[in-house]
Chain A
């Protein structure tokens, strides 16, 4: 059997992504630079970027989206570590716990969002429970969790969705050879905390980093969840871009494109940085696996 050439195997994927995804991204850049404009005689204009970068609605949105993405990612990692460390031991009811842990993974983000909405608005289910127990006197004294400026509702929805995703990656690692390393560390005199800090956590890092990239990128660029749960100001970047894109004033379209491109640049830069880090770690891991 003749071996198929590597590039032939990669070609369909690369073609599809190039034509249906990369070309549109380039097209977006050109549109943001007013490339196809009929009204202006200028070939290239950075006006859209200048307008965007100097408007406080954009910078506020940028800060909002970055903060939300960062907080949800970090919180999800922490919860994922704790839950996975618990679920790796065998105990009665572990199968059920594992099923529950994975339950959210295939549920769409916005369905979790809808649930958060129904739970945490001022007239939501939790508010009713508080009222029934006499903790609050009226719905307006229930804290603003959804549609709030700090995006707490959005963060809760993201964390509920993300922590099992990161957690399953960690758990699958914990159930493999990492246990042997932990036992080795114990016989060398490392206590529980030391074993976690010096052995488990560094060895989990590649897995955590990889799933965190995906999670962070999603939280940063999500449209649906802030649409359901976000405040009117500051808006998440995706909402801002979409509104500018669908604005009846066609002149705001280049601004929408500019926002889109800035989001792309931020995420791609972040991923490349993380990938460089991941690659050095992975090379170490791959060599280790090769020897086993």
Chain B
């Protein structure tokens, strides 16, 4: 039996044409951290608010340990929620804020005091109890907010982009704190974010949500190796997309035929996706022929844009492999860095290059990157330089990060 279950959960606002959360199914095991990842406005927050009881679902059910909680008012549900803004009550001290939930339950003052001190230690804010809530820094505020949510010992802790207002360094520190806390406290966590990196770092499993639907629910590794759809692949650093068609387990496109183990059998249009580091050089005449169109020096490697058969590709080589523009090379694609994805139906698959994984899933950033890659030449690639530099592909990222 799963610990937290969402069953056909749907929310349609009165004035909206389409539901903002569509028929959501999700099973979360006890003690797991599941990250609900998705761009702004995809219904993540609405989902959390329904679990917390702050928004009424239009249909569907929410079960905690097998029991439906939909009819239970917010204050009696075994969940607590941390919001993006710390929402510390301005008229209370830090200790009063943390002890709030226990006071509401009518607990004895002495016990509250002891538990508050324990929580202060746990979030590394010893001695801050008597401060006013408003005398804290952003990071401290969010830690108090976390302590305040945890002190009531919820079965499920909901976090709604709790660190998105903090700067990069603090965000890392806060993620570390969450992972530490997780070891000490038996709590199941549902964490909402649009930050792909944050999701990968924290999650036991990621539920990728787009337009009110969960597109893929897997562990982080799978998103980097076997994305289901084109958009998922884009979010997880797959660079090249080439229209293809699938018959059984065989995917055919202008670059040749590919057979993938573990690819679901399917007949119809697909999209071949290729990581930039997939290409390896072959002796002249072997493999497939490619013509260098532009290059960007990236320090440890060089990113090239090449014409290859009918397709345009973006590929990377170590920086000792220097080619001139117009030069002809022969390459082979490593099978484990190539994959086939569905085209998301409404989006017709065309040949495109999307350099570098997005930092977060704001729709605008990915659109912007696509546009950048429409043009040719050096200038357009410079914009992508800092991003590409920061994380180059999913595999290297996991090593880079502490």
Q: Please determine if A and B sit in direct contact within the complex, based on CB atoms under 8 angstroms apart.
A: yes
A284 within 8 Å of B by Cβ?
A: yes
B80 within 8 Å of A by Cβ?
A: yes
Known: A188-B104, A190-B100, A191-B104. A183 touches B54 (CB 8 A): yes
CA distance A183 to B75 in the complex (A): 9
Name B88-114 residues within 8 Å CB distance of A: 89-91, 100-101, 103-105
CA distance A285 to B88 in the complex (A): 12
Contact assessment for A187 and B52 in the assembled complex, using a CB-CB cutoff below 8 Å:
yes
By secondary structure, the B interface counts as mixed
Q: What's the A-B contact tally at a CB cutoff of 8 Å? A: 84
B79 within 8 Å of A by Cβ?
A: yes
Q: Chain A 164-192, CB within 8 Å of chain B: the 1/0 string?
A: 00000000000001001101111111110
* B positions within 8 Å CB-CB of A: 49, 52-54, 73-77, 79-81, 83, 85, 87, 89-91, 100-101, 103-105, 132, 134, 138, 141, 148-149, 152, 158
CA distance A185 to B75 in the complex (A): 8
* A positions within 8 Å CB-CB of B: 177, 180-181, 183-191, 194, 198-199, 202-203, 205, 281, 284-285, 287-288, 291-292
CA distance A177 to B74 in the complex (A): 19
Contact assessment for B83 and A180 in the assembled complex, using a CB-CB cutoff below 8 Å:
yes
B83 neighbours in A (Cβ, 8 Å): 180, 183-184
**A-B CB contact pairs (8 Å), 7 listed:** A181-B89, A185-B89, A191-B104, A202-B91, A284-B91, A284-B132, A291-B141
Contact assessment for B85 and A189 in the assembled complex, using a CB-CB cutoff below 8 Å:
no
Contact assessment for A189 and B91 in the assembled complex, using a CB-CB cutoff below 8 Å:
no
CA distance A284 to B93 in the complex (A): 12
Known: A198-B100, A284-B134, A288-B134. A187 touches B87 (CB 8 A): no
Q: Which residue of B lies closest to A284 (CB)?
A: B90
Of the residues B87, B89, B101, contact of A189 by C-beta under 8 Å = B101
Kindly provide the distance from the CB of A198 to the nearest chain B CB, expressed in whole angstroms.
7
Contact assessment for A292 and B80 in the assembled complex, using a CB-CB cutoff below 8 Å:
no
CA distance A180 to B88 in the complex (A): 10
Known: A186-B74, A189-B104. A285 touches B89 (CB 8 A): no
Kindly provide the distance from the CB of B162 to the nearest chain A CB, expressed in whole angstroms.
12
CA distance A15 to B18 in the complex (A): 60
B90 neighbours in A (Cβ, 8 Å): 203, 284-285, 287-288
B77 neighbours in A (Cβ, 8 Å): 187
